[in-house]
Structure 1
Amino acid sequence: MRLPRRPRGPRGRKALAALISTAVAAPVLLSAAPADARTADGPARQHQKAERLARQLERDASAKGAYRHLKALQRIADANGGNRAAGTAGHEASAAYVHRLLKQAGYRVSYQWFDVWQAKTLTEKLSVVSPDARDLQVKAAEFSPSTPKSGLRAALALARVDKDSGCAADDYQGTSFTGRIALVKRGGCTFAEKQKAAAAAGAVGTIIYNNVAGGVAKPSFGSPADGKVPTAGISQADGEALAAAAAKGEVRVALDIQQQHIKRRTPNVIAETRGGDPRHVVALGSHLDSVPEGPGINDNGSGSAGLLEVALKLADRTRRSGQQPTNKVRFAWWSGEELGLLGSEHYVAQLSGAEREKIALYLNFDMIASPNPAQLVYDGDDSDHKGSGPGPKGSAEIEKLINGYLDRKGTPHEGTDFDGRSDYGPFIATGIPAGGTFTGAEGIKSPEQAAKFGGKAGAPYDPNYHAKGDNLSNLDLKAFDTNIDVIAHAVGIYAHDLSSLGGGARG
């Protein structure tokens, strides 16, 4: 979770296509379109069915029920080197666990295999050589080219700092970057685009510093083909200190990155209801893969387990009532998110235009049990006026539905930007309305948020983000339960009634 920003529009779609594996799986088979149940029942009846199912799913689904899935994911990680990363036995076992339970519950379930690359970092070192010698904490970019065996020594050159620092050629004008290492601030575009622009300006390496306090930037390029020059990430504090020193005089650094790149196969798990109108698909997803550094129980075992809990409860309700949802409900557990949203990008790319039009909306749940949580709802209407603009038409209505539910429960919440760092990105890029919730990653909780949500101000939402400590002890179960209720409510409503999307309803 929490990847670099991904641009939307034509440039974003080109980047998306470049990152997607060439191995394209067959699309999920859909049943023949039935008569439209909404027409038969009428709007009032559909709304009643939706509200009733939502209440039932909220009662049935719980953090306690979902916790058993988290325990299973922890056991899988423990048995497979401590992680569940895409392309590893740990992830395949996680996918098999989810697939088995959904199959038993009666869903139409499939694996969707695609290729991913894995990066094994052997060396990652960064030192200031002059004017003041010191070592810095650094993380090699995923799929960075390696430096020469002896490392790379060069002077720093500063890319322009603005809202999209280092993303375009003019961010490298006014200073010679030839033979130097570019120092670039995070944000505004992908890590891959930043180092590509730096390389085009003549830089022999790139150092990207974080745009939030606390934590070292961890760049990722998606595949080895995207890496142009050796690239590494550092913290905001170290980056700003280097920039200040370089503005006064020459700063020379030594960068040493040695990395191996290995191609693997990995599956998405796709499950859909056997009933429901395939012309109106309600899609939900969570990424199932962890980073190699840890078991990923919050990131994103939490979203995966919450989604699985609600999917199983929906199947149970359907079986007991004999009543299929009006709309087809499709659940997805993505692989390769931590490598650059690869699973969701692959899925969206292999859909035909007609199949994309059938998807009424997409809901994303990534990190919903952070131990120092904030209750964040994706800002579909851009009412916060931060970062990216609004989501596609219908996204504002999704945000309104989630906010309205939380308001009725008396649960405080606030917006979070569609910054392109999770699996809603590929759906938004093709015009599918999106939404969902999030409880925070490496960002720092403000005093105002601590007053609103509780917890500790000045500390990360998840201090074990992308680390070995992201295990069963790294959870806030109250936040987990709240967000499972959000999933249950949304599934219940949208399974029968898409009218709240208004003019944003598709299909």
Structure 2
Amino acid sequence: MNKVSNENQSKSVIIPSRWIYVLFGLIIFFTMTIIALTAAILGIVINRLDSKNTSSIINNQSILLSDQIKIEDLIKHLEQLQLIADRTDNRTRAIATRGFNDTLDYITNQLEQNTNFKIQHWYFTVRNHIVQETPQLQSKINGFIINHTYLTDFTHILFSAGANFDEFVRIVVIPNLGCEDNDWINVSKVDSVALVKRGNCSFSQKCALADKYQVKGLFIYNDGISSDGFNPIQGVRNNLNTTIPAYFLSYNLGMQLVNTVNNVSVIININVSDANGIENICADTQTGDPTKTIVIGAHSDGVSAGSGINDNGSGTVAILALAINLARLFQTSSLNYSTYQYRVRFCWWGAEELGLLGSRHHVEQASLPTTIILGERLQD
């Protein structure tokens, strides 16, 4: 039996251990489904492409790639990812953690030991990702200074710039939810922190307009309407090239600032740094036409709250098992498994949980001017 305490309840919640096995069984089921679908799609793509080329030999395999995958191998990989997460302070495999880096090392080692594929590593930077200390927010209302509580009254908007105000700065309320240029043009914004209510457009659109009109900082406050409309929302993202600090406020704090806007000023203090060396891994088959590539990919990172065994450990190990077994079939002459005329590329992308950053970097930076992508299978 596993006991989970809840600070908001007077009694502990008991979770029967059988549910742990049910959950693990579901993860294995989903992983096997991923493998079956991916292997089937790979075969369909290759056979359809081959059938269009009358000069090529159609690859009629008597051995199916999906049949080579063993449940015990998947369990072994998933258990290793769980152990990797358990070794970290927060039991996570999110980017910029030991858990993420160890996950990439595990993938690389498995590929090196079990395949002859060409392994490539690409690195990129996530700007303003690491918050160094607890962000601070002070307000001065009618001369009284209030220290607001992080995660209760406000939270940091991801990718926002750092700031250390050395004096109180006035607040300006942006009308009409701040989704259009006209909402910003006629407001005096010089040396001010803009206060905008949630709604009508994306958070990133509000942030982009705040950047455009060069305010000193941005507060977006909750709307008090939706089911999540009162507390500050964690995980809201700014644009990657932002130059200003931005906080998401609770509805109550936002309304307090709106109602006292003529007599309120604030201090923002937040220290952030870039997450450097975030890694993508790709492994290419040695055979196959490099100008015709089939890509099979999944993301290797998880969220910060948990080990990420389902999302996306299942996808990570699914394509790892596919890669290892495809390499074995290609290299075992006695199996008579014909190599494909197309190159197959297996990829593990980082920072998916922050907005598909790794896969976007791969598309933007992979220098393959002569490559034609004939098929894709992306697994989350």
Q: How do 1:41-52 residues align onto structure 2 when only pairs under 5 Å count? A: 45=58
Determine whether 1:145 maps to 2:198: no
Separation of aligned partners in 2, 1:323 and 1:45: 10
**CA RMSD for the aligned pairs?**
4.2
Q: Pick from 92, 96, 105: which aligns with 1:96?
A: 105
1:352–1:89 distance in 2 versus 1, CA, 3 Å: same
Quick check: which has more Rg, 1 or 2? Answer: 2
Q: Pick from 78, 83, 93: which aligns with 1:75?
A: 83
Q: What is the CA-CA distance between 1:221 and the residue it aligns to?
A: 4.8
Letter in 1 for 2:121: Y
1:247–1:289 distance in 2 versus 1, CA, 3 Å: same
Separation of aligned partners in 2, 1:189 and 1:210: 13
Name the counterpart of 1:348. Answer: 363
Q: Normalized per residue, which structure has more strand?
A: 2
Q: In the alignment, is the contact (CA less than 8 A) between 2:93 and 2:307 conserved in 1?
A: yes
Could you list the runs of 5+ residues in structure 1 that have no partner in the other structure? 1-35, 367-507
Q: Deviations over 1:380-405 (max 9, x none)?
A: xxxxxxxxxxxxxxxxxxxxxxxxxx
Q: What is the CA-CA distance between 1:187 and the residue it aligns to?
A: 8.3
Q: How do 1:12-161 residues align onto structure 2 when only pairs under 5 Å count? A: 38=51, 45=58, 56-61=64-69, 65-81=73-89, 82-103=91-112, 104-117=114-127, 118-125=129-136, 136-148=152-164, 154-155=170-171, 157-158=173-174, 160-161=176-177
Partner of 1:139: helix, strand, or coil? strand
Q: How do 1:360-371 residues align onto structure 2 when only pairs under 5 Å count? A: 360-366=374-380
Q: How do 1:173-252 residues align onto structure 2 when only pairs under 5 Å count? A: 173=185, 175-178=187-190, 179-183=192-196, 185=198, 191=204, 194-208=206-220, 213-214=227-228, 216-221=233-238, 226-234=241-249, 238-239=250-251, 250=261
1:257–1:296 distance in 2 versus 1, CA, 3 Å: farther
Q: Percent of aligned positions with the same letter in both sequences?
A: 23
Q: Which moved more, 1:272-281 or 1:179-188?
A: 179-188
Q: In the alignment, is the contact (CA less than 8 A) between 2:65 and 2:325 conserved in 1?
A: yes
Letter in 2 for 1:75: L
Letter in 2 for 1:148: N
Name the counterpart of 2:342. Answer: 327
Q: What is the CA-CA distance between 1:267 and the residue it aligns to?
A: 2.5
TM-score, normalised to structure 2, is 0.65
TM-score, normalised to structure 1, is 0.51
Q: How do 1:405-484 residues align onto structure 2 when only pairs under 5 Å count? A: none
Letter in 1 for 2:338: Q
Q: In the alignment, is the contact (CA less than 8 A) between 2:156 and 2:234 conserved in 1?
A: no
Separation of aligned partners in 2, 1:255 and 1:303: 44
1:261–1:108 distance in 2 versus 1, CA, 3 Å: same
Q: What is the CA-CA distance between 1:107 and the residue it aligns to?
A: 2.1
Q: Pick from 258, 266, 288: which aligns with 1:276?
A: 288
Partner of 1:354: helix, strand, or coil? coil
Q: In the alignment, is the contact (CA less than 8 A) between 1:63 and 1:306 conserved in 2?
A: no
1:302–1:221 distance in 2 versus 1, CA, 3 Å: farther
Q: What is the CA-CA distance between 1:183 and the residue it aligns to?
A: 1.8
Separation of aligned partners in 2, 1:89 and 1:348: 26
Separation of aligned partners in 1, 2:71 and 2:141: 53
Letter in 1 for 2:80: A
Separation of aligned partners in 2, 1:183 and 1:207: 6
Q: What is the CA-CA distance between 1:308 and the residue it aligns to?
A: 1.8
Separation of aligned partners in 2, 1:186 and 1:108: 48
